C-alpha cells in the first residue's frame, strides 16, 4: 500500500478541485462515511461524548498567482478534536493547513495557494440538530512546528514512514466548553505503555455521503484493536485491516473523512485515557474507509510538546 494516499480527513465545502489527497470537494461522487463499524453516541454520560468535540475550520485562498475565479474563495471543512481543558483542544495538524493544492481551472496544472484567515469553531452536541447554529470560536491555533503540509513528498512510505510526521495541533477557544463536557486524561508517563492488540475506542464526527444525500454530522464511536507502533515511534496503526496490502474487509471498523483529529481512547484501571488522534487512512483504491486501517498520532510521544504549549497558553 506504499502508493496509497489518505482519504480520512477533511471534506471541503467549496466546489473546486483540490490536490490534497485527504480532501474531497463538495461535488465529489466519492462515497464517504462516518466512523465505520461503530455506533451513534447517544449517552451524554459516556466518555466519548464528554471528551469529543466537532470542529468547523474555515480559511480563504490567497496568492498573486491565483486565477481570478479562485482568488479570495472561502473554504470550510470538518474535523474532530478532544478536550484537554474546558477551553483547550487537541486535534490533527493537517486540519489547519497553511497552504492548499488546487488544479488550475484553465490549464488543469496542479498549483499551491496560501490559506489566510484560518480559524475554527467548536461544537459540542451529538449532532447539528441539537447544537447551536454557531460554535465557540477559536482564539489561537498552534500547529506543531515540525509538521509540513506536503510531508507526503518528504517520506519514503506514507503508511509507515521513518520520520515523525508531527500531525498534532492545539486549539485555544475564546470561551469555555459547556459544563457537561470534560477534559480527557492523557496517558501518564508512569502508567503501563500501550501494547499491541489493546482495545482502543475511536470517536469522531465524520460525515456520511451517499450519492445525492448528505447527512448531518453525528458523533459515532467504535472499539478496535491498537495493533502496533509505526517505524517513527510517534504513530500507531489501529484496526483489523492489512497495513501492507490494503483492501475492503468484511467487518470494517475505524475512522473516515471528518474524523481527523478525533480521539483514540484506551481503558485502564485508573479510568479512560486519551492516547491518540485519528490522522489518516487508505484511499478508495486500497479499500478506503472499509479497509479497517487507521493511522493515529501517538500522544505519549508528544507529552513534552503538549505540556510546553499548555504552559505558554496559561501565561497572562
pLDDT band for 212, please (50, 70, 90 cuts).
Answer: very low
Residue 260 sits in which domain range? 10-314
Q: Is residue 138 part of a domain?
A: yes
CATH assignment at residue 102: 2.40.10.10
Rounded CA-CA distance 90/15 in Å is: 28
Q: Which residue has the cell 470561551?
A: 175
- The pLDDT of residue 53 is above 50: yes
| CA–CA distances in Å: residue 91 to residues 63, 88, 122, 181, 201 | 27, 10, 11, 16, 16
pLDDT band for 199, please (50, 70, 90 cuts).
Answer: very high
What pLDDT is stored for residue 46 in this prediction?
Answer: 97
184 CB contacts (<8 Å, ≥6 apart)?
47, 51, 82, 83, 84, 263, 265, 272, 273, 274
Q: Is residue 3 part of a domain?
A: no
Which has the higher per-residue pLDDT, 229 or 283?
A: 229
Q: Is residue 139 part of a domain?
A: yes
Q: Is residue 2 part of a domain?
A: no
Mean pLDDT on 219-228: 95
Which has the higher per-residue pLDDT, 151 or 7?
A: 151
Q: Is residue 1 part of a domain?
A: no
What pLDDT is stored for residue 131 in this prediction?
Answer: 86
Q: Is residue 5 part of a domain?
A: no
Question: Based on the number of CB atoms within 10 Å of its own CB, is 266 exposed (0-12), middle (13-18) or buried (19 or more)?
Answer: buried
Phi-psi category of residue 14: left, alpha or beta, with phi > 0 → left and psi -120 to 50 → alpha: beta
Give the H or E element holding residue 3: none
Rounded CA-CA distance 282/154 in Å is: 18
Q: Is residue 75 part of a domain?
A: yes
Task: Transcribe 234-297 into DSSP letters.
Answer: SEEEESSS-SSS----SS--B--TT-TT-EEEEEETTEEEEEEEEEE---GGGTGGGS--EEEE
Considering the chain, what percentage of its residues have pLDDT values greater than 90?
59
DSSP state of 183: P
Mean pLDDT on 55-70: 88
pTM of the model: 0.88
Q: Is residue 128 part of a domain?
A: yes
Residue 311: helix, strand or coil by DSSP?
helix
- Taking residue 191's Cβ as centre, other Cβ atoms within 10 Å add up to 15
Read off the pLDDT of residues 171-188 as tens digits, 9 standing for 90 and up. Answer: 999 999 999 999 999 999
Read off the pLDDT of residues 134-163 as tens digits, 9 standing for 90 and up. Answer: 899 999 999 999 999 989 889 989 889 999
Number of domains within the chain: 1
Rounded CA-CA distance 36/276 in Å is: 17
Amino acid at each position: 500500500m506504499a502508493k496509497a494516499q489518505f482519504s480520512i480527513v477533511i471534506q471541503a465545502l467549496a466546489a473546486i478541485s483540490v490536490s490534497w489527497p485527504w480532501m474531497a470537494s463538495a461535488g465529489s461522487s466519492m462515497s464517504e462515511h462516518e466512523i465505520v463499524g461503530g455506533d451513534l453516541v447517544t449517552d451524554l454520560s459516556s466518555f466519548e461524548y464528554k471528551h469529543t468535540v466537532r470542529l468547523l475550520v474555515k480559511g480563504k485562498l490567497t496568492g498573486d498567482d491565483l486565477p481570478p475565479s479562485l482568488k479570495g474563495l472561502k473554504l470550510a471543512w470538518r474535523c474532530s478534536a478532544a478536550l484537554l481543558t474546558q477551553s483547550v483542544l487537541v486535534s490533527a495538524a493537517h486540519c489547519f493547513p497553511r497552504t492548499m493544492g488546487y488544479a488550475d481551472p484553465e490549464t488543469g496544472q496542479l498549483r499551491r495557494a496560501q490559506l489566510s484567515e484560518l480559524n475554527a469553531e467548536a461544537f459540542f452536541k451529538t449532532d447539528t440538530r441539537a447544537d447551536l447554529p454557531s460554535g465557540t470560536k477559536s482564539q489561537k491555533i498552534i500547529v506543531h512546528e515540525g509538521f509540513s503540509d506536503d510531508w507526503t513528498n518528504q517520506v519514503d512510505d506514507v503508511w509507515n514512514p521513518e520520520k515523525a510526521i508531527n500531525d498534532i495541533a492545539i486549539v485555544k477557544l475564546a470561551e469555555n466548553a459547556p459544563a457537561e463536557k470534560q477534559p480527557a486524561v492523557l496517558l501518564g508517563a508512569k502508567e503501563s505503555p500501550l501494547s499491541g492488540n489493546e482495545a482502543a475506542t475511536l470517536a469522531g464526527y465524520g460525515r456520511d455521503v451517499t450519492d445525492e444525500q448528505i447527512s448531518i454530522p453525528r458523533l459515532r464511536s467504535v472499539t478496535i484493536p491498537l495493533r502496533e507502533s509505526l517505524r517513527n515511534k510517534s504513530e500507531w496503526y489501529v484496526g483489523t485491516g492489512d497495513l501492507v496490502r490494503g483492501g475492503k474487509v468484511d467487518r470494517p471498523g475505524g475512522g473516515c473523512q471528518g474524523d481527523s483529529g478525533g480521539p483514540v481512547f484506551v481503558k485502564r484501571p485508573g479510568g479512560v485515557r486519551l492516547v491518540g488522534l485519528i490522522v489518516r487512512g487508505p484511499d478508495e483504491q486500497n479499500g478506503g474507509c472499509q479497509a479497517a486501517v487507521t493511522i493515529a498520532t501517538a500522544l505519549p510521544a508528544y507529552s513534552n510538546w503538549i505540556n510546553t504549549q499548555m504552559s505558554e497558553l496559561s501565561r497572562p
